[in-house]
Structure 1
Amino acid sequence: MDSEALEPDHEALVRDHTIYSCVMGSRAFGLATDTSDTDRRGVFLAPTPLFWRFDKPPTHVEGPAEEQFSWELERFCALALRANPNILECLHSPLVEYADDTGRELLALREAFLSRRAHDTFARYALGQRKKLEADVRRHGAPRWKHAMHLLRLLMSSRDLLRTGALTIDVGEQRAPLLAVKRGEVSWPEVETWMSRLATEADEAASRSPLPPEPDHARVEDYLIRVRRASALQAAPQALQTDPYDERVQGVVHGRGVGQR
Structure 2
Amino acid sequence: MANANLPQNFNLIIPAGTQIVTKIEVKNPASDESWKQGLVGVIVKSPTDNSHAYLVKLPDGTEISLRRHELSIRKQFQSEGLQSGGDFLAEYNLYDSVIYRCIVGSRAYGLDHEQSDTDRRGIYQPPAILHWSLYGIPEQLENKENQECYWELQKFLVLALKANPNVLECLYTPLVETVSPVAQELLEIREIFLSQLVYQTYN
TM-score by length of 2: 0.55
Residue deviations 1:146-175 (CA, integer Å, cap 9, x gap)? xxxxxxxxxxxxxxxxxxxxxxxxxxxxxx
1:29 aligns with 2:29: no
Share of identical aligned residues, percent? Answer: 43
Distance (whole Å) between structure 1 residues aligned to residue 188 and residue 91 of structure 2 = 27
| Structure with higher helix content | 1
Contact between 1:24 and 1:41, CA under 8 Å: does it hold in 2? Answer: yes
1:29 Cα shift? 2.8
Change (3 A) 1:28 1:115: same
Distance (whole Å) between structure 1 residues aligned to residue 99 and residue 189 of structure 2 = 14
| Equivalent residue number for residue 101 of structure 1 | 181
1:63 aligns with 2:151: no
Equivalent position SS for 1:55: coil
Letter in 2 for 1:86: N
1:74-223 matched pairs, under 5 angstroms? 74-123=154-203
Distance (whole Å) between structure 2 residues aligned to residue 6 and residue 47 of structure 1 = 16
| Structure with higher strand content | 2
1:118 Cα shift? 0.1
Identify which of structures 1 and 2 has the higher relative contact order when contacts are C-alpha pairs closer than 8 Å and 6+ apart.
Answer: 1
1:47-62 matched pairs, under 5 angstroms? 47-62=127-142
Task: From 71, 83, 89, give the equivalent of 1:8.
Answer: 89
The unaligned stretches of length 5 or more in structure 1 are 124-261
Letter in 2 for 1:66: N
Change (3 A) 1:19 1:64: farther
Letter in 1 for 2:187: L
1:104 Cα shift? 0.8
Residue deviations 1:57-80 (CA, integer Å, cap 9, x gap)? 100011286111110000000000
Contact between 1:84 and 1:122, CA under 8 Å: does it hold in 2? Answer: no
Letter in 1 for 2:202: F
Contact between 1:40 and 1:69, CA under 8 Å: does it hold in 2? Answer: yes
Change (3 A) 1:44 1:64: farther
Equivalent position SS for 1:7: helix
1:102 Cα shift? 1.1
Letter in 2 for 1:30: G
Change (3 A) 1:120 1:63: same
| Equivalent residue number for residue 73 of structure 1 | 153
What stretches of structure 1 move > 3 A for 4+ residues in a row? 1-6
Residue deviations 1:199-234 (CA, integer Å, cap 9, x gap)? xxxxxxxxxxxxxxxxxxxxxxxxxxxxxxxxxxxx
Letter in 1 for 2:89: P
| Equivalent residue number for residue 118 of structure 2 | 38
1:30 Cα shift? 2.5
Distance (whole Å) between structure 1 residues aligned to residue 128 and residue 182 of structure 2 = 14
1:11 Cα shift? 7.5
Contact between 1:10 and 1:58, CA under 8 Å: does it hold in 2? Answer: no
Residue deviations 1:21-44 (CA, integer Å, cap 9, x gap)? 000111113211122111111100
Q: How many residue pairs are counted as aligned between the two chains?
A: 122
1:112 Cα shift? 1.3
Equivalent position SS for 1:96: strand
Letter in 1 for 2:141: V
Distance (whole Å) between structure 2 residues aligned to residue 10 and residue 120 of structure 1 = 42
Change (3 A) 1:97 1:105: same
Please identify the structure whose Cα radius of gyration is greater.
2
Distance (whole Å) between structure 1 residues aligned to residue 193 and residue 171 of structure 2 = 10
